[in-house]
Amino acid sequence: MNQTIDLRADTSVPTGTFADSNPPQVSAVEHSVRAALRRCGRRPIMELRCDFSVSAGDHVTVTLSGRLPSFYLNQLAQELVRRVPGVDQVCNRVRVDFPHD
């Protein structure tokens, strides 16, 4: 099962294909991931896309995607998500695009 959320959306209902059939562990993890990324206060991180999937054994994988302006922010986002209770694996597909001088 895959679940996609948009961190820019400020709604209490998850968005994505499986919003209505969301397993409880994904709902709790989704809420915690969203809160962790918003708490960091860095707009580029808050705008990342997060996809959630549950594999056999109820292991939750969070896939991050989008663009960030530095490797530091990329690593920060990954570590924020990795530390959320219930996240078993983080797949980082974030692209780092350095700003033009």
Indicate whether 14 belongs to any domain.
yes
Indicate whether 54 belongs to any domain.
yes
pTM of the model: 0.74
Overall number of domains in the chain: 1
Indicate whether 69 belongs to any domain.
yes
Indicate whether 26 belongs to any domain.
yes
For 49-97, write each residue's pLDDT tens digit: 999 999 888 899 999 999 999 999 999 999 999 999 999 999 999 999 9
The confidence band for 101, taking pLDDT boundaries of 50, 70 and 90, is: low
Angstrom distance (rounded) from CA 2 to CA 91: 13
Return the bridge partners of 3, or none. 52
Domain hosting 33: range is 2-96
Angstrom distance (rounded) from CA 24 to CA 26: 5
Indicate whether 101 belongs to any domain.
no
Angstrom distance (rounded) from CA 1 to CA 52: 8
For 4-51, write each residue's pLDDT tens digit: 545 554 433 333 434 445 677 788 999 999 999 999 999 999 999 999
Indicate whether 67 belongs to any domain.
yes
Indicate whether 33 belongs to any domain.
yes
The tokens for 4 are 């996609």
Could you tell me where the beta strands, DSSP code E, fall in 1-101?
2-6, 49-55, 59-68, 89-96
The tokens for 70 are 């530095």
The CATH number of residue 35's host domain is: 3.30.1340.30
Indicate whether 36 belongs to any domain.
yes
